[in-house]
Amino acid sequence: MRYLPILLLAAACGSRPDRGRELAACQLISKSGDELARCLVMKYSWAADSAGPAKSAFQWELDSIRQAHEAQVAAIIAAQLRDSEAAAAARERRVLARARDEARRDSIDQEIIDRANLAKERCSAAAWEHAVRPATAGGGHDMAHFDSLNRVCQAERDRAVGGRDTIH
Protein backbone atom coordinates (compact mmCIF):
# COMPACT_ATOMS: atom_id res chain seq x y z
CA MET A 1 0.00 0.00 0.00
CA ARG A 2 2.95 2.27 0.40
CA TYR A 3 3.41 2.51 -3.33
CA LEU A 4 -0.16 3.33 -4.26
CA PRO A 5 0.12 7.14 -3.90
CA ILE A 6 3.31 7.17 -5.96
CA LEU A 7 1.72 4.97 -8.62
CA LEU A 8 -1.33 7.23 -8.83
CA LEU A 9 0.87 10.31 -9.05
CA ALA A 10 2.95 8.76 -11.83
CA ALA A 11 -0.19 7.73 -13.69
CA ALA A 12 -1.67 11.23 -13.45
CA CYS A 13 1.47 13.13 -14.51
CA GLY A 14 3.55 10.92 -16.70
CA SER A 15 1.12 8.90 -18.74
CA ARG A 16 -0.66 11.85 -20.38
CA PRO A 17 0.27 12.09 -24.08
CA ASP A 18 1.41 15.45 -25.53
CA ARG A 19 -1.81 17.23 -26.50
CA GLY A 20 0.12 19.79 -28.60
CA ARG A 21 1.41 17.02 -30.87
CA GLU A 22 -2.05 15.55 -31.19
CA LEU A 23 -3.48 18.94 -32.07
CA ALA A 24 -0.73 19.58 -34.66
CA ALA A 25 -1.25 16.13 -36.22
CA CYS A 26 -5.00 16.75 -36.59
CA GLN A 27 -4.45 20.27 -37.97
CA LEU A 28 -2.33 18.80 -40.77
CA ILE A 29 -5.17 16.63 -42.03
CA SER A 30 -8.15 18.88 -41.26
CA LYS A 31 -9.75 21.43 -43.60
CA SER A 32 -12.15 22.95 -41.04
CA GLY A 33 -12.72 23.36 -37.34
CA ASP A 34 -15.34 20.59 -37.41
CA GLU A 35 -12.89 18.14 -39.02
CA LEU A 36 -10.25 19.06 -36.42
CA ALA A 37 -12.65 18.39 -33.52
CA ARG A 38 -13.74 15.10 -35.10
CA CYS A 39 -10.09 14.03 -35.51
CA LEU A 40 -9.20 14.90 -31.90
CA VAL A 41 -12.22 13.06 -30.51
CA MET A 42 -11.99 9.97 -32.73
CA LYS A 43 -8.22 9.50 -33.03
CA TYR A 44 -6.97 10.78 -29.67
CA SER A 45 -10.08 10.33 -27.49
CA TRP A 46 -10.37 13.96 -26.52
CA ALA A 47 -13.56 14.96 -24.75
CA ALA A 48 -15.92 17.02 -26.89
CA ASP A 49 -15.76 19.98 -24.49
CA SER A 50 -11.93 20.08 -24.62
CA ALA A 51 -11.90 19.82 -28.48
CA GLY A 52 -14.36 22.76 -28.79
CA PRO A 53 -11.89 25.61 -28.05
CA ALA A 54 -9.31 24.05 -30.40
CA LYS A 55 -12.03 23.76 -33.06
CA SER A 56 -13.01 27.45 -32.72
CA ALA A 57 -9.41 28.71 -32.72
CA PHE A 58 -8.52 26.61 -35.79
CA GLN A 59 -11.63 27.73 -37.68
CA TRP A 60 -10.86 31.38 -36.85
CA GLU A 61 -7.30 30.93 -38.16
CA LEU A 62 -8.56 29.32 -41.39
CA ASP A 63 -11.12 32.10 -41.88
CA SER A 64 -8.52 34.83 -41.39
CA ILE A 65 -6.18 33.12 -43.90
CA ARG A 66 -9.04 32.86 -46.40
CA GLN A 67 -9.96 36.54 -45.91
CA ALA A 68 -6.33 37.64 -46.34
CA HIS A 69 -6.05 35.52 -49.48
CA GLU A 70 -9.28 36.96 -50.90
CA ALA A 71 -8.03 40.50 -50.18
CA GLN A 72 -4.77 39.76 -52.01
CA VAL A 73 -6.66 38.32 -54.98
CA ALA A 74 -8.95 41.36 -55.08
CA ALA A 75 -5.93 43.70 -54.99
CA ILE A 76 -4.24 41.79 -57.83
CA ILE A 77 -7.40 41.80 -59.94
CA ALA A 78 -7.90 45.54 -59.30
CA ALA A 79 -4.28 46.25 -60.32
CA GLN A 80 -4.66 44.15 -63.48
CA LEU A 81 -7.90 45.98 -64.31
CA ARG A 82 -6.21 49.38 -63.80
CA ASP A 83 -3.30 48.29 -66.01
CA SER A 84 -5.68 47.00 -68.67
CA GLU A 85 -7.74 50.20 -68.62
CA ALA A 86 -4.58 52.33 -68.78
CA ALA A 87 -3.32 50.32 -71.77
CA ALA A 88 -6.70 50.65 -73.51
CA ALA A 89 -6.73 54.41 -72.86
CA ALA A 90 -3.19 54.72 -74.24
CA ARG A 91 -4.19 52.76 -77.36
CA GLU A 92 -7.22 55.00 -77.80
CA ARG A 93 -5.07 58.13 -77.44
CA ARG A 94 -2.62 56.80 -80.07
CA VAL A 95 -5.46 55.99 -82.48
CA LEU A 96 -7.01 59.45 -82.00
CA ALA A 97 -3.62 61.14 -82.45
CA ARG A 98 -3.05 59.19 -85.68
CA ALA A 99 -6.53 60.13 -86.91
CA ARG A 100 -5.91 63.81 -86.08
CA ASP A 101 -2.52 63.71 -87.83
CA GLU A 102 -4.03 62.04 -90.88
CA ALA A 103 -6.91 64.54 -90.98
CA ARG A 104 -4.43 67.41 -90.69
CA ARG A 105 -2.30 65.95 -93.50
CA ASP A 106 -5.41 65.45 -95.62
CA SER A 107 -6.44 69.03 -94.91
CA ILE A 108 -2.98 70.34 -95.84
CA ASP A 109 -2.93 68.17 -98.96
CA GLN A 110 -6.36 69.45 -99.96
CA GLU A 111 -5.28 73.06 -99.39
CA ILE A 112 -2.21 72.51 -101.58
CA ILE A 113 -4.35 70.90 -104.29
CA ASP A 114 -6.87 73.78 -104.10
CA ARG A 115 -4.11 76.38 -104.38
CA ALA A 116 -2.48 74.52 -107.26
CA ASN A 117 -5.83 74.31 -109.07
CA LEU A 118 -6.39 78.03 -108.54
CA ALA A 119 -2.93 78.79 -109.89
CA LYS A 120 -3.61 76.53 -112.86
CA GLU A 121 -6.87 78.38 -113.55
CA ARG A 122 -5.09 81.75 -113.39
CA CYS A 123 -2.34 80.50 -115.66
CA SER A 124 -4.87 79.04 -118.07
CA ALA A 125 -6.62 82.39 -118.20
CA ALA A 126 -3.31 84.10 -118.90
CA ALA A 127 -2.44 81.54 -121.60
CA TRP A 128 -5.89 81.98 -123.15
CA GLU A 129 -5.38 85.70 -123.19
CA HIS A 130 -2.12 85.18 -125.02
CA ALA A 131 -3.68 82.74 -127.48
CA VAL A 132 -6.50 85.07 -128.49
CA ARG A 133 -4.31 88.15 -128.64
CA PRO A 134 -3.85 89.26 -132.22
CA ALA A 135 -0.63 88.28 -133.88
CA THR A 136 2.14 90.84 -134.27
CA ALA A 137 2.77 92.62 -137.53
CA GLY A 138 5.25 89.92 -138.49
CA GLY A 139 2.57 87.30 -138.28
CA GLY A 140 3.71 85.64 -135.02
CA HIS A 141 2.86 85.96 -131.41
CA ASP A 142 4.83 88.11 -129.02
CA MET A 143 7.13 85.52 -127.35
CA ALA A 144 8.38 88.01 -124.78
CA HIS A 145 4.82 88.47 -123.58
CA PHE A 146 4.30 84.67 -123.52
CA ASP A 147 7.51 84.21 -121.50
CA SER A 148 6.40 86.83 -119.00
CA LEU A 149 3.03 85.08 -118.67
CA ASN A 150 4.81 81.74 -118.21
CA ARG A 151 6.97 83.24 -115.45
CA VAL A 152 3.82 84.61 -113.80
CA CYS A 153 2.21 81.16 -113.98
CA GLN A 154 5.25 79.46 -112.50
CA ALA A 155 5.48 82.04 -109.72
CA GLU A 156 1.76 81.66 -109.05
CA ARG A 157 2.13 77.87 -108.84
CA ASP A 158 5.14 78.11 -106.52
CA ARG A 159 3.33 80.59 -104.28
CA ALA A 160 0.21 78.40 -104.19
CA VAL A 161 1.93 75.21 -103.13
CA GLY A 162 4.51 76.83 -100.89
CA GLY A 163 7.45 75.29 -102.75
CA ARG A 164 5.99 71.76 -102.50
CA ASP A 165 5.73 69.54 -105.51
CA THR A 166 2.26 68.50 -106.53
CA ILE A 167 1.14 65.48 -108.50
CA HIS A 168 -0.58 66.40 -111.79
**pLDDT score for 116:** 77
Is residue 32 situated within a structural domain?
yes
Domain that holds residue 136: 15-161
What confidence tier does 9 reach under pLDDT thresholds 50, 70, 90? very low
Is residue 119 situated within a structural domain?
yes
Average pLDDT on 35-44 reads: 97
The residue among 70 and 155 whose pLDDT is bigger is: 70
Predicted structure pTM score:
0.47
Is residue 45 situated within a structural domain?
yes
**pLDDT score for 40:** 97
Give the integer Cα–Cα distance in Å for 107 and 98: 14
CA separation (Å) from 47 to 1, 18, 43, 51, 79?
32, 15, 11, 6, 48
Residue 128 has pLDDT above 60, yes or no: yes
Share of the chain above pLDDT 90, in %: 49
**pLDDT one-digit tens code per residue, 134-167:** 555 555 556 666 677 677 777 777 776 666 554 5
**pLDDT score for 111:** 84
Number of domains into which the chain is organized: 1
Is residue 137 situated within a structural domain?
yes
Is residue 168 situated within a structural domain?
no
Give the integer Cα–Cα distance in Å for 111 and 119: 12
Residue 12 has pLDDT above 80, yes or no: no
Compute the mean pLDDT over every residue in the chain, rounded to the nearest whole number. 81
Is residue 8 situated within a structural domain?
no
Is residue 2 situated within a structural domain?
no
End-to-end Cα separation, the chain, in angstroms: 130
Q: Which of 30-44, 107-121, 153-167 has the lowest mean pLDDT?
A: 153-167
Highest mean pLDDT among 8-17, 64-73, 125-134, 156-165: 64-73
Torsion of CA 79, 83, 88, 93, to 10 degrees: 130
Is residue 10 situated within a structural domain?
no
